[in-house]
Amino acid sequence: MSQTLFDLSGRTALVTGSTRGLGRAIAEGLAAAGAAVVLNGTGGERLATAAAEMRAKGYAVREAAFDVTDEAAVTEAFARLDEAGVVVDILVNNAGMQLRKPMVELSTPEWQKVIDTNLTSAFVIGREAARRMIPRGRGKIINIGSLTSELARATVAPYTVAKGGIKMLTRAMAAEWAADGIQANAIGPGYMLTDMNKPLIENPAFDAWVKGRTPSRRWGKPEELIGTAVFLASAASDYVNGQIIYVDGGMLAVL
């Protein structure tokens, strides 16, 4: 029973920003649970290498090179998947970026870029996916939130605003698409060991703060998101909708 509930065989998952970091870990986790995976990056060597590494592990992998902030490129990528007969059953809106700067020094284009990358892309790609999921009467959308979906941190204002938006976009998706058999949920990772967080990990004061502030007393590993991702991608979560599940070592639960 539990094996069938979490089995992703026969399903295809598109994971944005999946050449490295959290997206890569989630893509590998979904593949290990049986899904075929469409990896995404802006192209070039990193995407080809990630795909080759996953194929070497025996996983079914397709590459979709597109910039998540380029709407025309997104539409084209979906058209190419349609032509190839690839049905996206599971969408993970993971692609994201960080820009750490005090707000008084932040330019409007910088603000916009962070919002476009972390929030608007999830709407645009989610809409393309949902347009195809709705007629089929099923689909899974997993958005990647953050602790900053709930709490602010100085120097990351646009990221915080985007991730707060991700929480509400997830609810908006559930509100509009749940009746069509789509489950839209989010994962809120805590402080994770990723390239994006390298400057924080390498900063002794920040590292000490994370370890002191997190009840688990450590940073999270990207692969620690897999269980929640598989749950939200599988039949096990068919009546779970509009939720954000924090995988944060307990951080949001305590002061």
Interface positions with ligand GCO (CB under 6 A): 98, 100, 146-148, 153, 156, 189-191, 196-197, 200
What is the distance between the alpha carbons of residues 162 and 174, in angstroms, rounded to a whole number?
Answer: 18
Which string of b and e fits 26-43 if b means at least 16 CB within 10 Å? bbbbbbebbbbbbbbbbe
Q: What is the DSSP letter of 76?
A: H
Q: Which is nearer to ligand GCO, 80 or 217 (CB)?
A: 217
User: How far apart are CB 83 and ligand GCO at their closest, in Å?
Assistant: 36
The residues carrying an active-site annotation are 159
- Tell how strand 90-93 and strand 244-247 pair up: unpaired
Single out the residue of 187, 219, 167, 169 nearest to residue 30, CA to CA.
187
Q: Which is nearer to ligand GCO, 12 or 228 (CB)?
A: 228
* Residue 232 near residue 142, CB atoms below 8 Å: yes
Phi, psi of 232 (to 5 degrees): -75, -15
User: How far apart are CB 153 and ligand GCO at their closest, in Å?
Assistant: 5
What is the distance between the alpha carbons of residues 59 and 226, in angstroms, rounded to a whole number?
Answer: 16
Mention every residue, 6+ apart, whose C-beta is less than 8 A from residue 117.
68, 69, 95, 96, 97, 162
User: How far apart are CB 27 and ligand GCO at their closest, in Å?
Assistant: 19
User: How far apart are CB 138 and ligand GCO at their closest, in Å?
Assistant: 30
What is the distance between the alpha carbons of residues 200 and 193, in angstroms, rounded to a whole number?
Answer: 10
Q: What is the DSSP letter of 186?
A: E
User: How far apart are CB 171 and ligand GCO at their closest, in Å?
Assistant: 19
Q: Which is nearer to ligand GCO, 99 or 236 (CB)?
A: 99
Q: Which is nearer to ligand GCO, 100 or 217 (CB)?
A: 100
